[in-house]
Amino acid sequence: MKREMSVSGTFYPQRANDLYRYFEHFNKIYDENNLERDIKSRVIIVPHAGYIYSGFTANVAYRILEKSNLKNLLVIGPSHRVGFNGISICEDYIYDTPLGEIESSKELVDELKNKFNLKNILKPHAEHSTEVQFPFIKHYLSDVKIVELVYGDTTSEFVSEIIDFVLGKDDCGVIISTDLSHFYTLEDANKLDGICLNAIENINREQLHSGCEACGKIGIDAMLISAKKLGLESTLLDYRTSADVNDDKDSVVGYLSACFS
């Protein structure tokens, strides 16, 4: 039972050497601009577009997460292709990536299934919001085991309960996947995305629901609930838009990364 790649060659390269070139490029910029932060975190929010657009933003967060010494990671993302009720948990034993396989955390899978009555629905797991994280995970946390959750129509409160349970384990971390506003002008995108950024920075759900547009908004909202409950602080790591890459300021997608500690 293997979770096969579904978006390699589109959202990220099929070949390991090409992926390594991306990571080398991202880290050269990271190091040249002295972006290293003295933060230890088990929770990150990252984007999920093609690496050419949002890879650097995600990479900033993974540079922090790699210092966490985690053994298990829960990867949470929204379903883009399949509409369904609830949350689907991946039951495959292996996740495939161009950099090699990642083991599933079967013990955590069983615990989550039993405690939260989660089911496996196959079709939602051909999902890019979670899959684009796997090469980053394999590169920066090569020995970690993972669990993939893809959500459809569910509540932030339910997702937050799952996050709380996972963070109650010292060796577990959480990755929340989301992009921000889609296909606005650069000016409008910056305004809308600013609402999301401020909400995350202030851990303020009321702000989040006052205009933030994000495809993974449920995941963000759930994390804000958990952060408030667990007494976590947030740090914004990077924000940019697709216009930074293609110079198209008329139809923009926004990307952010953040961490909680």
Q: Is residue 227 part of a domain?
A: yes
Q: Is residue 67 part of a domain?
A: yes
Range of the domain at 83: 43-260
Positive/negative CA dihedral, 151, 157, 161, 167? positive
CB 22 within 8 A of CB 111: no
Q: Is residue 136 part of a domain?
A: yes
Which pLDDT value is given to residue 122?
77
Non-local (6+) Cβ contacts of 227 within 8 A are 43, 203, 233, 234, 260
Q: Is residue 144 part of a domain?
A: yes
Q: Is residue 28 part of a domain?
A: no
Non-local (6+) Cβ contacts of 125 within 8 A are 3, 88, 90, 92, 148, 150
CB 237 within 8 A of CB 64: yes
What is the domain count for the chain? 1
CA distance 165 to 174: 11
Which pLDDT value is given to residue 10?
97
Positive/negative CA dihedral, 220, 216, 219, 136? negative
In this prediction the pTM is 0.97
Nearest to 76 by CA among 182, 198, 226: 226
Residue 68 DSSP label? G
Per-residue pLDDT in tens (0 to 9) along the chain, 261 residues: 899 999 999 999 999 999 999 999 999 999 999 999 999 999 999 999 999 999 999 999 999 999 999 999 999 999 999 999 999 999 999 999 999 999 999 999 999 999 999 999 978 899 999 999 999 999 999 999 999 999 999 999 999 999 999 999 999 999 999 999 999 999 999 999 999 999 999 999 999 999 999 999 999 999 999 999 999 999 999 999 999 999 999 999 999 999 999
250: tokens are 């008329």
Can you tell me which residue has the tokens 């926004």? 254
CA distance 64 to 121: 32
Non-local (6+) Cβ contacts of 140 within 8 A are 62, 63, 65, 66
Q: Is residue 84 part of a domain?
A: yes
Residue 253, helix vs strand vs coil: strand
Q: Is residue 23 part of a domain?
A: no
Q: Is residue 220 part of a domain?
A: yes
- 173: domain CATH number? 3.40.830.10
